[in-house]
Structure 1
């Protein structure tokens, strides 16, 4: 049969940058068999794994100068952000390499019976990664899975297959044969990976809609899943918030990777009396957010990754304006380049009922919602479907922390946002998913418990 090719395009210029042959079902079966065979040896030597994971970290840092430009060209983000992503991925491997856990503990011992509890790896893991942060999100899954003693088959979003393959090739050059491999293709290949009887765990990052589909598919083989899904993350400014500090941090976070970040601040709740001050301060921070090709050193905000995302964000922005919202800054393309551009945009005079606020639009548009009662804001958030991240801003840190404790989300920051640490667990609640990545909790997500009960 003919081999199908995946074609990658630069989202800033719409120029083709490369092609890669899609993985066939037979090739996927072979990869999984090789991963299963490699698992039988890989699982046993933790010291070997720790050393090789540290080597993977080093190799990613060493190859950053080649990986980052390809990531920018294929995904669209500015080169500085791409380099940061590669380095953060390298840190994930270093962090996973140092994590310790007790392999077994004695549960009972008598003259006639001994029982002990052990934790051990699952087997072959399917790691399905999205297009917005393909290198870091892959590394978070892969490093933890490998540290625990599993082997991994990576399935990237089709549109970032070139850069993910390059990174997997770098890692495969360090690791034993079969420990890591990459399968590239569309939804049919993803379903084949999830449903394969020798895949013992699936870790997925992406939309809530696709996450639900993966849960249904995994139920056929009773395969455990970790899901890191959507997150329409709010930032809440309290009456005593430092406006300049909040505006500076939130402007940086809201438009990082053109707003295509699951934990980016996607709506800001501001006391009515402070809205004018906040909007002015925030707009001032937008002055140096030049839009363009990510390979241009002057670019601070690149394109959206694909035309569908541009259409979604543009549509909800247009609906908000038609409904009476005011554009404070932005709203145009921001460049003459032919790609999928939308300039960073700040919107006010809008409430929770607008799609721009209620939905995760996943783009460089930030709505400001005025409020008079923080309890009503918290009640509204409690009734919404997402619970990935949030932030609370106030000079009275104790009071701000008390508000943060009332928000049902996987991570709630106080006087900061997007402050990720690879040593801390990360994940969501409600429709934002379940399971954790990062730190010891991320490794534990790839381990299982077994009781050995012996009659003497």
Structure 2
């Protein structure tokens, strides 16, 4: 643990003013909380019906406290207060869904005279849930809801910059849950490393960058601790020649700049037939006019700031390199506001080569490049070589789009829509976008282990 810092300072990315402070969890406190979660596991695992009732009650309580949570989430993370409220709402839905998920022991057809066999699905123990800053409430809930439903206990470690709102949500849930079942530790990477390496931790679930996910998997391998990794994404949108350009451009613009583009599953570039690029950019730009930039708490704001200086600098650098390489800014490129925070207004760039860093890397910001193509086979070949495989969308008639969608390696592929996610469905990536699933019944199974009980009578 760091000897220098004793607390985390949360800063509003719109105003650069301090929002509040959170004590860093020291080594002794971290050990106690993990041990308390381990002790609570013995009782929590035993009664599924009780767990379901408590998770349902958590969902109700979270919605009741939405007016307290949403403004704090907006202040600390930067997103609009409307989007923050929707994040709390979907988090409550996630809890309610997992309160209904059930599973049964299985009796396989291998019985013989005097012998019976049962396959049981049992919880693992203490789960470490490591949460990023872009959707801290929902991405925490996507981990703790299935983990708790399965009978595990959970220790949450949020990103340092969203410590206040995650701490507030954990506090609210703990007014419903039994003591010890849900714990929280706060701090930087050293706190996360100590949590992952604790001998009581039986599972690690992480959402964040591929680089950090690789380090977590490497550390977890030392203790043979299973991991679920939801990592980076650089999701393409492939526009076909017979696509409804107006509907396509409108939907992509709304999704590309949601949360200032800081969403792993957001569309991050469009491949458009060369002869349709002008029309696509015109329709896309028209929708961008409906996305005013400002403080997330201000009425009418649709796009807030980036979350931190490092992210703003990265996206700005990628944009400048793309323009220097021949790309042309169609709309945007400025700050969009006089506020002092980390602002970059929604920006559309065309005439960008698909080898440009703005296209090839996950920029994670409000810049959207358009790549012209002549043959969709070339696009598919490019996607086949890319490192990420989180999501993708294809736009066109069903007859034309379905064969293209079938050839894309990604955990989620949409046709004539993007970012259509439901808590009832499994979500996760392929390739460098990670492995394991969250959501649906499959997400609960990620927090269970199978064992065979064979009895000779």
Alignment TM-score, normalising by the size of structure 2: 0.98
Asked if 1:7 is matched to 2:9, the reply is yes
Match of 1:334 among 317, 333, 336: 336
Deviation at 1:402, TM superposition (A): 1.5
**CA shift digits 1:182-221 (9 cap, x unpaired):** 1000101100111111100000000000000000000110
Give the match for residue 175 of structure 2. Answer: 173
* Counterpart-to-counterpart distance in 2, 1:53 and 1:262: 27
Deviation at 1:106, TM superposition (A): 4.7
* Partner SS, residue 294 of structure 1: coil
Give the match for residue 402 of structure 1. Answer: 403
Q: CA RMSD in A?
A: 1.0
2:105 touches 2:118 (CA, 8 Å); kept in 1? no
Unpaired segments ≥5 residues, structure 2? none
1:103 touches 1:120 (CA, 8 Å); kept in 2? no
Residue pairs, 1:249-264, within 5 angstroms: 249-264=251-266
Give the match for residue 430 of structure 1. Answer: 431
Residue pairs, 1:364-379, within 5 angstroms: 364-379=366-381
Residue pairs, 1:7-46, within 5 angstroms: 7-46=9-48
Deviation at 1:255, TM superposition (A): 0.2
Unpaired segments ≥5 residues, structure 1? none
1:107 touches 1:116 (CA, 8 Å); kept in 2? no
* Counterpart-to-counterpart distance in 1, 2:421 and 2:110: 41
1:107 touches 1:117 (CA, 8 Å); kept in 2? no
1:410 touches 1:426 (CA, 8 Å); kept in 2? yes
Aligned length: 455
* Counterpart-to-counterpart distance in 2, 1:107 and 1:128: 40
Runs of 4+ in 1 over 4 A off after TM superposition: none
Give the match for residue 132 of structure 1. Answer: 134
Give the match for residue 444 of structure 2. Answer: 443
Deviation at 1:109, TM superposition (A): 2.9
Give the match for residue 453 of structure 2. Answer: 452
**CA shift digits 1:303-346 (9 cap, x unpaired):** 00000000000000000011110000000111110000000000
1:123 touches 1:151 (CA, 8 Å); kept in 2? yes
Deviation at 1:81, TM superposition (A): 0.5
Alignment TM-score, normalising by the size of structure 1: 0.98
Deviation at 1:355, TM superposition (A): 0.3
Deviation at 1:104, TM superposition (A): 3.9
**CA shift digits 1:249-305 (9 cap, x unpaired):** 001000000000000000000000100000001001111211110000111100000
Match of 2:324 among 322, 329, 334: 322
Give the match for residue 289 of structure 1. Answer: 291
